Structure formats: C-alpha cells, structure tokens
Chains A and B, each alone.
Chain A
Amino acid sequence: MKLFARPAPPLTRLPNGCFTLDRTGSVLVGTVTSSFPAAALREIGRHVLDTFREAQATQLPLAELVVHYGSLKIVARELRGGAIVFLLPKSPISTAK
C-alpha cells in the first residue's frame, strides 16, 4: 500500500530576503526565493501597508515597523506610500535582534 502513498510535500521554509511594494500593494522587485508563495508575500505587504496607513490616520505617523516573531523578524520602511520589507529568519546563531 505504501508504494502508492503520496509522499509528504516539503516543508515551507521561512522567507529570507527583501522586497519593495508600491502604494497599491504590488510587489515591484525582491530577493525572496521564488519557492516562497507569492500570495504570502503579498499578504505580508498588505498587512505592512495597512498598518502604516492606519497609524497615520491615528495621528501616529510611522516611518519604520519592526515585527518580532519567535523565529522571524519583519522590518518594513515606509517609502512614499509604498514600503521596502526585509524578512529575516531568526536562528540560534543569527544576529537578527
């Protein structure tokens, strides 16, 4: 039976690299590996842009956003309505603080 079993797909690695977004949320250029789903990249970009915009509307303009997860850091800098986003996986030996 195991001959016909479908092998488990590879695990998705955390994204590593950077990309830029225009004000509409379209990814313009990036260094993130193409094996990382483009939809997930757009989702990250959308959340970043929404957070910048809503902060501005709250009278709290922000130029940079740093999001810390247990194993990933997202750094985003505002660029005239768009943004440049850096994705930095953390590992025990990484310097991403």
Chain B
Amino acid sequence: MDTRHKILLLDDDPDLLEIYRELLGQLPSKPEIHTAISGSRGMAMLEAHAFRLLICDLKMPKMDGLQVLSIVRRKYPALRTVILTSVADEQFRSRVYAMGVDLFWQKPATEHETKLFLECIESLLGRESEPGFRGVQSKSLVDLIQLECISQSSATLRITNGPLTGKIWINNGDLIDAETDGARSEEAFQKILAWRAGSFETLPAEPARPRTIFKSYNALLLETAQVIDESRGEIPDAAPGGTPRAPASALTALTQVDGVEFVLAAITGDKDKTRFEARGLENPDRLAGWSRQSLERFRALGEHLQAGPLEQIEGLGPQRHVVLAPQGDTQFCVGWRHSLALEEIRDRMRKVLALWA
C-alpha cells in the first residue's frame, strides 16, 4: 500500500505548476504531487482523493485563493494548507493566517528561498497534531510531575490554560502546594490536572513555600485521576435522539463566573441534531432561536467576505450585555451584568470558554 503523502498544487499558471511539481518531487519524503489549474478543478480533486497538503495560489480567475481557502477550511479542517503567491500585501497575509492557513509564502525568487520553502513543506508533511503540553509534546502533565518527583528535584511549575494559570510547587521530589483560580492545595492540584492541554514553564524552586499537601505524589495523582474519571463518568454520553447532553455540573460552573447572568448552550451531536441547555433563563426558546440565527447569519457573512472564522459576537444593551460564541460543537449565548465594561466581559468570556473546554 502506498503511504506517500499526497500534495495538491493549485495555480492558474501551468508552467509554474510543472516547475513546482518537479521541485516538490525531490522532497525526502517523496510525496505524490497532483496539480490543478483552477479552483473548481482543485475542489473536485480534493473530493476524490485524501490529500495531506494543499499548496494554493491567491490570484486566480473565477475562484481565487481566498474563496478556495474558505471552503477548504470548513470542509477539510485536517488538510494542511499553504499559500504560495506573488502578492506581497500584509492584509492578505494576516487574512489567510486568520483563516487557519499553515503557511503564507511568497513565491521564491532565489535558490536559498526555494530551499527554505522546500524545508518548510517537508516539515509540514511530517508534523502530526498531537495533544499535550507545549514544549513536551505527547507528555501529559502527570508525566511531567512524575518526572520532577522521581528525579527528586525542586521546582515551581507554572501551567497556563487560556486565561487560567496554576502553579504547582515541588520540593525535593515532594508535592508541597498548588494554587489556581482561588483554590489551593489538593483542590487546586485536581483542577490543574483536569486541564487537557496548555503550556508550562519551570520557575525557580521556592523552598520557603508553606506546605499544604502532605500526601505522596503517587497517592495524589491516583486520587486525582479517580476524581477526574468520576466527574467525566457522571455525564451520560448522549441524550435520546443522538445528541450529547451538556454536562450539568459544567454548565452550572459557568454561571459561577462573576458577572454571568445566564448561560445558554446549543450542542450539536450526531446527525446534526441540536440540543439546548440553559442556566439562569426561564424561557430560553426565543433566545436560543435568536442566538442560533445570529451566529449562522454572521458566519455566512464572514465566509462571503472571506474575513476568517467568526470568533464572537458581543451585544451591548441597556439592561444586560450578551456574548455569542461558537466553541467546537457548542454555541454559547452568555448574558452578562450590565455594569460590566466590555473589556471585562471579554476577559471573563475567555474564562467561560476555557472552563468549558
């Protein structure tokens, strides 16, 4: 079975297609190169074959590169994408990056630039999207803590997950304290370990830090794993009709964020069925309809304008403010206290989304 990666090259210039086909054919991974001379032809080829990488020009007749990208990002989110263009314009560069493109590259003019371009392509072909903590790919936070404790080292781990930050203090291989988001000790440790990804840094040890955790790291890790498993196990996988039920405790937790008046979540499950869950609303149906319609309307507008993905809609009103935000398969409508400033709402909304994630 042929396991070579497939690359689709899309450009309206047949001469350039031939040149790049030859160049890319020399990559160490020996990818299979396919070419298309128009956006519509390229889309048909993407439909027919499983490509690893799309290399696309920006300026093309009929369907330009931005139009191709806006479709590709939605239909093939796992496909790696590279824009190879002669357009040297900062606005287009930032637009294509906002659309989720992996690389924006101006058509190489020198041998050195060509070499760099090929190296980047080879790297993109090989890169896998792995979960984990940045800096130590494929290692979980548990692995990191075990490493520190087994090596009897002293350090302070600072872990960041979106707007949330936590710290874990280790002294001579013993876990001595943890702190995050108003919680301390074992409770904070459990909260931090529930984060599935993020970034971390090792800070100098603080031997004078008062000890609040007295269990061994193994016992604590085991206990925490059980708590996390139980909390995930509480949630039924799916509600009748194939749609996942919102974790009740998770949704309620969002309403605990200071300033939140209500939370409405529309969760899309299998077969595109959507289920609504709400906290703090007596009659959520009308608001759910407005929220869904507004998100869909502005998502379509963004696609038409090629302005990148819709991130968030904020509505400021005389009675309360509201924020609509898509997050994976869930669409949120969160009501905020009127006295909050817009910047505060944005900060807290990031927290709400991070808590949900």
Q: Which residues of A contact B (CB under 8 A)?
A: 2, 5-15, 40, 43-44, 47, 50-51, 54-55, 57-72, 89-92, 97
Residue from B302, B307, B319 whose CB has the most chain A CB atoms within 10 Å: B307
Inter-chain pairs besides A65-B313, A92-B90, 13 sampled, C-beta below 8 Å: A2-B15, A7-B61, A8-B64, A12-B306, A47-B297, A47-B298, A60-B290, A61-B317, A66-B314, A71-B91, A89-B91, A91-B90, A97-B346
B residues adjacent to A (C-beta < 8 A): 12-13, 15, 58-61, 64-66, 87, 90-92, 94-95, 97-100, 286-287, 289-290, 293-294, 297-298, 301-302, 304-320, 322, 342, 346
> In the complex, what residues of B have CB within 8 A of residue A15's CB?
305
| Cβ A61 vs Cβ B318 within 8 A | yes
Q: For the complex, what is the distance from the CA of A65 to the CA of B306, rounded to whole Å?
A: 20
Q: Is the CB of B315 within 8 A of A90?
A: no
Q: B309 and A70: CB pair below 8 A?
A: yes
A7, A62, A63, A89 interface centre (most CB from chain B within 10 Å): A62
Please indicate the chain A residues that have their CB under 8 angstroms from the CB of B301 in the complex. Answer: 43-44, 47
19 A-B residue pairs with CB within 8 Å: A8-B12, A9-B59, A11-B87, A12-B306, A14-B307, A40-B304, A44-B301, A54-B294, A63-B316, A65-B314, A68-B314, A69-B302, A69-B308, A70-B97, A70-B100, A71-B91, A71-B98, A71-B307, A72-B302
If A8-B59, A8-B64, A72-B307 touch, whether A14 touches B91 (CB-CB below 8 Å) is: yes
Report how far A87 CA is from B346 CA in the complex, Å.
20
Q: In this complex, what residue of A is CB-closest to B99?
A: A70
**Closest Cβ–Cβ distance, residue B255 to chain A (whole Å):** 18
**Residues of chain B with a CB closer than 8 A to A11's CB:** 58-59, 64-66, 87, 92
Q: A61-B318, A66-B314 are in contact. Are A72 and B308 (CB under 8 A)?
A: yes
Interface-centre pick from B60, B287, B298, B305 (highest chain A CB count, 10 A)? B305
Smallest CB separation, B11 vs chain A (Å): 10
CB closest residue in chain B, given A77: B316
Q: For the complex, what is the distance from the CA of A15 to the CA of B64, rounded to whole Å? A: 18
List the B side residues contacting A8 at CB < 8 Å.
12, 59-61, 64
Shortest beta-carbon distance from A17 to chain B in Å: 14
Whether A92 pairs with B315 at a CB distance below 8 angstroms is: no
- A27 to chain B minimum Cβ distance, whole angstroms, is 16
A58 with B91: CB separation less than 8 A: no
Nearest-neighbour CB distance to chain B for A80, whole angstroms, equals 15
Query: Are B307 and A91 in contact, CB atoms less than 8 angstroms apart?
Result: no
Partner of A68, one of B90, B287, B312, B322: B312
Contacts of A92 in B (CB 8 A): 90, 94
Given A50-B297, A92-B90, also A60-B61 (CB < 8 A): no
User: By the criterion CB–CB under 8 Å, are A51 and B297 in contact?
Assistant: yes
- Which residue from chain A places its CB closest to the CB of B65 in the assembled complex? A11
Q: How far is the CA of A12 from the CA of B307 in the complex (A)?
A: 11
